[in-house]
Chains A and B, each alone.
Chain A
Amino acid sequence: MSWQVLSGTLEQGLMYAIMVLGVYLSFRVLDYADLSVDGSFTLGAATAATLIYAGFNPWLATGLASLGGLAAGAFTGLLHTKFKITPLLSGILTMTALYSVNLRVMGRPNIPLLRMRTVFTDFAQVPWVGSYSVLLLSFISVTVLGILLYLFLETEIGVALRATGDNEHMIRSQGVNTDAMKILGLSLSNGLVAFSGSYVAQNQEFADVSMGIGMIIAGLASVIIGEVLIGTRSVGRTVVAVIAGGIIYRFIISIVLQLGLAPTDLKLVTALIVITALVSPAVKKKLFLPAFRK
């Protein structure tokens, strides 16, 4: 693997790790498989690209993109809590609706950002940064967001949020409005995802309406890889684990591509990674524990 591929993969890994933080928040902390991620990732990219293309400040565009994600997450949360739609279906509904919303936002299926001013070109102006702009800014962003997420999960509200994912009945009997917690958690989760999407669009210098397809599975794969390799003993460790998982996942994808697989096969590879991770405990049991004969 050349240095260029290596650093490119690392940059992408750091950027996508922000999305993985979001997936961790919904999938693990809230125990909610939220498929709106596929739509909100694209929403972040589409919003940022459209605004930048129209001449907005890229930092402002990134902020607004994240707010869009927050709103999308809140919408999923409302569907689930107020109208009692199942978690999976709520996510699918938001994801489907967002596909049209994203096309509306962009006005066309893709927007190029070639040689436009982005957060990365801005950051490159800082002394000593130069060509390390993408790497450094992504690293700083994921680190700051990871620390903020960790600190949040250790606050009173954060503890209540985690308990909502663990034992809803119990935390309600301790006086917590679990509906509000779910809406809050899903908002923050999708906000992070949209933030990540806006970075990815600015880095690859285009936004495309289908760039979010399969994002949730990539996120799940990353969370699982991180948890298996680094562990989940404490919240802080798990946050570090899922960030690392996001980076490692990108490297796996990169290696698979280097081996000559077509980019179109990536979704299959990702699905296989998740299936392997989900099946392995069951396989282990089958192999090492006595079982009933068929």
Chain B
Amino acid sequence: MLSVRQIQKIFNQGTINEKSALSSLSLELAAGDFVTVIGSNGAGKSTLLNSVAGDFPVDRGQIFIEGEEITYLPQHKRAAWIGRVFQDPMQGTAASMTIEENLVMALRRGSRRRLRRAITHKEREYFRAELCKLGLGLEGRLTNKVSLLSGGQRQALTLLMATLREPKLLLLDEHTAALDPKTAAKVLDLTCQVAEDQRLTTLMITHNLDQALGMGNRTIMMHEGRIILDLQERERANMTIPGLLEMFEKAGGANMLTDRMILV
């Protein structure tokens, strides 16, 4: 499904701030895989997701989706395959536009935009039904501006937008980290639900080890731009949080134990 081959990314190459974010990283995802990604700050998790999404070109290596090479495609062309939810709830939606306008932009992901009226009556009904599933009462607020929504509501809306067109690949970059615990749990529930319903291939970054082991079917741990652990099936089922922390320490020394990981 997704095939990342030997990609390398160095930021600020040739300067004093040079930072190797990904070094010769390879990753294969099968269709329907739900992979959680963990690692300390600066391990290259976000860089990996952003490289796949096409925020910037990689320095070396190749990326394929469903056998098609996307390494050199700009971000807006890759969007045909990819749905994304960002860490910052402000990033995934257009604040000055209405809920239905935001949804219709997501509904046209991957298709040509034309000079015809953006939202039809039928689509409005469809949006209402989909928003109803979120259980946040947004179905009655289609023409409200998104700036009126709370962070959690915006993140739930972004998740709906990312999955409205059944993406081949769903990229979640700590999408619940900025939410309060209750809202975060709600958004995570919705995530599991939609990933299961649509059998989405998903890459989810998290700092919560409980989520990392509890969600999906595979966990990878990153360190210094590499994948240092790839847990699947039996091995993953038998893994515990203390066990994972131990792996962390073994891999990169005690400094990998950041406060955020202990406080799960």
| Chain A contact residues, CB within 8 Å of chain B | 152, 154-160, 162-163, 166-167, 169-178
Contacts and interface: CB of A to CB of B under 8 A. Distances in A.
B76 A175 contact: yes
Contact of A166 (B95, B108, B161): B95
B105 A159 contact: yes
Given A163-B101, A167-B93, A173-B76, 13 more contacts: A155-B116, A155-B117, A159-B113, A160-B105, A160-B113, A162-B101, A166-B95, A166-B96, A171-B105, A172-B75, A173-B75, A174-B79, A176-B105
A170 B79 contact: no
A93 to B, nearest CB: 25
> Interface SS of chain B: helix, strand, loop or mixed?
loop
Contacts of A152: 115
A162 B98 CA distance: 11
Contacts of A173: 53, 75-76, 79, 82, 84, 92
Given A159-B101, A159-B105, A171 B53 contact: no
A157 B111 CA distance: 12
Contacts of B90: 167
Interface string B109-142: 1110111111000000000000000000000000
A202 B33 CA distance: 67
Contacts, number: 83
B168 to A, nearest CB: 13
Contact of A154 (B75, B79, B95, B118): B118
B93 A170 contact: yes
A155 B117 CA distance: 4
Nearest to B53: A173
B254 interface: no
Contacts of B111: 175
A154 B91 CA distance: 22
Nearest to B83: A173
A157 B114 contact: yes
B257 interface: no
Contacts of A169: 91
A170 B91 CA distance: 6
Interface in B72-86: 74-77, 79-80, 82, 84
B177 interface: no
B257 to A, nearest CB: 32
Contact of B76 (A154, A156, A176): A176
B94 interface: yes
Nearest to A155: B115
Contacts of A177: 74, 76
A167 B95 contact: yes
A231 B92 CA distance: 26
B79 to A, nearest CB: 3
B104 A175 contact: no
A284 B41 CA distance: 42
B161 A174 contact: yes
Given A156-B118, A174-B105, A177-B76, A167 B91 contact: yes
Nearest to B100: A159
